[in-house]
A and B are shown apart, each in its own frame.
Chain A
Amino acid sequence: MSETLEMVQAAVETGEGTVRFGPEAPLRLDSGAKLENFQIAYNTYGTLNADRSNAVLICHALTGDQHVASAHPVTGKPGWWVSLVGPGKPIDTDRYFVICANVIGGCMGSTGPADTDPATGKPYGLNFPLITIRDMVRAQKLLVDALGIEKLFAVIGGSMGGMQVLQWAASYPESVRAAIPIACAARHSAQNIALHEVGRQAIMADPEWKNGEYANHGTFPAKGLAVARMAAHITYLSEAALQRKFGRNLQNRASLSFQFAPDFQIESYLHYQGAAFVDRFDANSYLYITRAMDYFDLAAEQDGGLAEAFRGSPTRFCIIAFTSDWLFPPAENRRVAHALNAVAGNVSFVVIDSDKGHDAFLLDEPEMFAAVDGFIAAVAREAELP
């Protein structure tokens, strides 16, 4: 463990780190399987204070990663949540020590299906065990423990990140002072499972997928993964936003082509989204992580329903939803608020008027910033954070 701690110390300085867990510390998964010799890659921003009370854990979404507020190493694009996280931002890296870890099963440095299975010396592929949101959170808890942080000041995330926030609060209530689940739900709906299944089938139908062993064959199911991304991307937007942005505008042409090449701007846009995605994401990771979301149902691990997950919780919650989000609609977020009300939990619930759909949580939404800012400031006052 001392080696781990040294690496962790180094990471605090450099802002990027990987913590490895050897065979003596396997991750016990919900499936019953054990993940041995795994690692968690993470980024940090800001400085951990002397009493380690200013740590904010950010949980990323399905296709996100740990590069929350710094350039992406593959695409070179700015971090995915620079609107919210950074110096002087609502999650102020001058004040807070921000941690974001790649989820287990991911493809940006944490152990996932593309990594080598120590048992075979080949990439895991489909031999990688099925993982759940709770498994992701278990792994993050190990990281937070390794960093010597007993209590996180806040855990925040949107979409699948919000699911992890809820799981954190349910699994480790004493370790979470404030929880900010955004645009998420306590369970994946039938519609969302259906949409994920379409994406997975697109990947598996690609002949280059080769039953998940594409790495051994020197192939990659880029077409299948791109189609999965295209289908999913539609669900992140809204009908109104698509109409406003693209309408029926044609792409680089004056009239319809009477062919199947992209005529419409929206088609070109989706093609671009699909093509850009396959450069940075692993197809098997996409299968595993979508499955983890499908399996998420916080009430299922409680006998008495969702409210029991939060009974006696000392955590302060701020739930944020967006009016035009049809993937995780306000009603699903409200369910969580009601569950917290039912156990007299300390909860704020904000619905933000936006026509930008699910992706609104990643965009410039001043009302969301104001809610996060005000909520965090109040919790900081309560905690007497300097």
Chain B
Amino acid sequence: MSELRPELAAIAGMIRPGTRVLDVGCGDGALLHHLVQAKGVDGRGIEISQQNVNACVARGLSVVQGDADTDLSEYPAGVFDAVILSQTIQATEKPLKVLTDMLRIGRRVAVSLPNFGHWRVRTSLLLHGRMPRTRTLDYNWYDTPNIHLCTLADFIGLTRKAGAVFTEAHTLDTDGRTTRIRPGAVTSGFFGPNLTAPGAIFLLKKS
């Protein structure tokens, strides 16, 4: 198995061994596989792509083909120690509902997302007058799965609306490397992570 990319390694660091974990939008199951193998978690996944689901199940993971927007409401409250949403919230139809559902079914929620407030995005729009296309958001506006992009400051606003606080934060650089920062530092000052970080990871819980 190839090494876990740094972002997923940072999320894995938030997961307690032996607990029950749900990975929403688990992709090909790289993180879930790692969590099951290295941390002995009871890992479950939801993934929208049929091909990815089949690949996950073929490697022995418990993954269901489903849609975060509609299927999270099926799960009962408080059954997972952690729910993970990695690089997926910007592709959901109803980010607030998805976040609220996750906070209901998991005691802790780990979310990673791209930052639309990053200076490259801002300057790209300013200078070229076209929808920004960057290394981390490399899509044309008309065929992007990312229908609800936001800035880190926007996301923090959403977590407040969902009644959550974040207990841990990491910034993500262009190569996906992570740096742990103080949760309060995310939106501090004009030159803070909301301008400088291409993405971030947050660990949330209900306030």
Contacts and interface: CB of A to CB of B under 8 A. Distances in A.
A368 to B, nearest CB: 9
Interface stretch (A98-106, A240-248, A290-298, A336-344): A336-344
Residue from B42, B57, B61, B66 having most chain A Cβ neighbours under 10 A: B57
Interface in A330-386: 334, 337-338, 341-344, 346-353, 367, 370-371, 373-375, 377-379, 381
A296 B118 CA distance: 57
Contact of B76 (A343, A348, A367): A343
A346 B61 CA distance: 10
Nearest to B45: A348
Nearest to A367: B54
A66 B74 CA distance: 37
Contact of B62 (A338, A343, A348, A351): A348
A348 B57 contact: yes
Given A338-B71, A346-B44, A316 B62 contact: yes
B59 interface: yes
A370 B50 CA distance: 14
Contact of A344 (B50, B63, B71, B75): B75
Given A344-B76, A344-B79, A346-B42, A370 B66 contact: no
B60 A377 contact: yes
Interface residues of B, number: 23
Contacts of B76: 342-344
Interface in B141-159: none
A318 interface: yes
B19 to A, nearest CB: 13
Contact of A341 (B42, B54, B61, B71): B71
Contacts of B20: 344
Nearest to A340: B64
A373 B57 CA distance: 9
A167 B20 CA distance: 26
Contacts of A373: 58
Contact of B74 (A341, A351, A367, A370): A341
A381 B53 CA distance: 20
A318 B65 CA distance: 11
A347 B62 contact: yes
Interface in B49-87: 50, 53-54, 56-66, 71, 74-76, 79-80
Contacts of B58: 370-371, 373-374
Contacts of B75: 341-342, 344
A316 B64 CA distance: 13
A370 B44 CA distance: 19
A371 B54 contact: yes
Contacts of B42: 346
A204 B151 CA distance: 69
A371 B57 contact: yes
A351 B58 CA distance: 13
A350 B65 contact: yes
Interface of A: 316, 318, 334, 337-338, 341-344, 346-353, 367, 370-371, 373-375, 377-379, 381
Given A344-B79, A348-B57, A377-B60, 12 more contacts: A318-B57, A334-B65, A341-B75, A342-B74, A342-B76, A346-B44, A352-B50, A352-B54, A371-B54, A374-B59, A378-B60, A381-B60
21 contacts: A334-B66, A338-B74, A341-B74, A343-B76, A344-B20, A347-B62, A347-B64, A348-B53, A348-B61, A349-B53, A349-B64, A350-B65, A351-B53, A370-B57, A374-B57, A374-B60, A375-B57, A375-B60, A377-B60, A378-B61, A381-B60
